[in-house]
Structures are given as structure tokens and as C-alpha cells.
Amino acid sequence: METREMIKVENLNKSFGDLHVLKDINLTVFENDVVCLVGASGSGKSTLLRCLNFLEKKDHGKIVINGKEVRRETHDINEVRQHVGMVFQHFNLFPHMTVLENIIEAPVHVKKISKEEASKDALELLRKVGLKDKADVFPNKLSGGQKQRVAIARALAMKPDIMLFDEPTSALDPELVGEVLQTMKELADDGMTMVIVTHEMGFAREVADKMVYLDEGMIVERAHPDEFFSNPKEERTKEFLSTTG
């Protein structure tokens, strides 16, 4: 079977004013791949994810999502965004809506799916993330880990081809990290194509198909996790890994 390229980035560059944040990034993510993106704070991880989801405008380079080159001038970014779900550190749930309403909001208003069908899908997603009984509660009644699982369900409700995660467990109390990682692991096992920025090295080692290490806006090393963690090639990767415990 041919392996499909879900994300292809060529020579991506991005600056904020004089600050050159992403430098000639080349990255291919295949269908069903889980890529974990690691690096020090400020190395450009979030900017890279945001460029992939067109929340940030690239300066130069090529971004191909599921075979389609996305150019701001010629493509409907909102259309593309429907195929790329994103989960952030802060869950950004709508506080005045129930869990179910949060999840069906985009399918109903963006995809124009009927409320009935969207609700049926939402309940199935809630079952998947272990929160079936929380459909009618408001976000302020949930723990951080539950909120993040709702945020994952909400992203999945658009039936994306790709899921991007930007430090999804960094804002959580330590005892709540595991349940969110477990949900992500199940998603990976289901074959979702995922790019995950994380500091959870144990999780990355277990779940990633590929590790990518970013330093000062450059991809310094990429490798299978076994290789990456036990036998890093680059001096900077060794230093980084020695700081992450």
C-alpha cells in the first residue's frame, strides 16, 4: 500500500519582525504517523504548528496538506482548517455552552450538519474520551483533564485528517496528565495522523513514530524514538535530553 503524505513542508521560513523564528523547515508527515516535536521554550514549536494550521502566515516555503498546496491567495484557509484539528495548552472551551454544545458548535455552524446528527456524533466522541455522562454539564464543572478531553472531542467532531497538539498537558495538574495522554494514545492507535508538541518524554518515546527536535528554529535531529532517546547524534540533542529528565 502506498503511504500517503498528509503534511509536506518545504523550506518553511517565518519571522516576527527581525526575529527569524523558523529557518528552512522541511518536514513530511505520513498518514497514520505520530510525530512528536520537542525543543526548548522559544525554539519555534508553536509557530510551526500554527503555520501548519494557518493561524500564522508563513513568509516563504511550501505547505502541502493532504496533497493540496495551500496558498493564502488561492485557497480557502477555513476549508483546509476543517481537515486539521488543533488542541491547545489552554482548552478554550466556550464557558456559556454545555459540553455537548461545545462539541456540536463547529459541525453545525461551519459544516452545516443537522443538530441531531452532530449530537449523535458528539455523544459517540464523548464515549470515546470517557465522558459520556458529562454531555450536559458546563465546562466550569469539569477538571482540567476532563476539559482537555472535551477539547479533543471537539476537534475530532470536525472529522479532521490530521490532529495537531500544542503542549496539551502542560497546564494540567500532574495527576490529570495521564488521562489526557491515554486519550491521545488511543487516538494514535486508531490511526490518526498526529503532530504533538510535548514535554512528556515517556509518552513521546512510547507513542511517537518519529521524533523531531527543534532548536532555534531549525530541525536539528529527527529519528525513530528508540534511536532518538538512546543514541542521539547531535550534541545539542544530547544536551536537550539531559535537561528533560
Which stretches of the chain bind Mg ion, using CB under 5 A?
45-46
Cell numbers of 118, please? 452532530
By beta carbon distance, the residue nearest Mg ion is 46
Q: Which long-range contacts (CB under 8 A, 24 or more apart) does 201-208 make?
A: 201/38, 201/229, 201/241, 201/244, 201/245, 204/36, 204/38, 205/229, 207/34, 207/36, 208/34, 208/35, 208/36
Compare residues 22 and 104 and give the one whose CB is closer to ligand ADP. Answer: 22
- Shortest Å, Cβ 230 to Mg ion: 26
- DSSP label at residue 199: S
Distance of closest approach, residue 124 Cβ to ligand ADP, in angstroms: 33
Taking the least distance from each CB to ligand ADP, the nearer of 47 and 183 is 47
Classify residue 173 by its DSSP letter. Answer: -
Q: Which does 140 bind (CB under 5 to 8 A by kind): Mg ion, ligand ADP, none?
A: none
Residue nearer to ligand ADP on the CB measure, 20 or 185: 20
Q: What region does 99 belong to: left with phi over 0, alpha with psi -120 to 50, or beta?
A: alpha
Which C-beta is closer to ligand ADP: that of 106 or that of 214? 214
Centre a 10 Å sphere on the Cβ of residue 55 and count the other Cβ atoms it contains: 14
Q: How far is the CB of 118 from ligand ADP (least distance, A)?
A: 32
Contacted by 110, from Mg ion, ligand ADP, none: CB < 5 to 8 Å by type: none
Given the complex with ligand ADP, which of 47 and 169 has the nearer CB atom?
Answer: 47
Report strand pairing: 5-16 vs 60-65. antiparallel
- Identify what 42 binds: Mg ion, ligand ADP, none; CB under 5 to 8 Å per kind: ligand ADP
Q: Which does 44 bind (CB under 5 to 8 A by kind): ligand ADP, Mg ion, none?
A: ligand ADP
> Distances from the Cα of 87 to the Cαs of 26, 90, 147, 174, in angstroms?
23, 8, 11, 19
Minimum distance from residue 165 beta carbon to ligand ADP (Å): 12
Rounded to the nearest whole angstrom, what is the least distance from the CB of residue 43 to ligand ADP in the complex? 4
Distance CA 215, CA 13 (A): 14
Q: Which residues bind ligand ADP (CB under 6 A)?
A: 16, 19, 21, 39, 41-47
From the list ligand ADP, Mg ion, none, pick the one residue 39 interacts with, judged by a Cβ distance below 5 to 8 Å according to partner type.
Answer: ligand ADP
Geometric angle at alpha carbon 104, from 117 and 35, rounded to 5°: 110
Q: What angle do CA 42, 34, 200 make, to 5 degrees?
A: 50
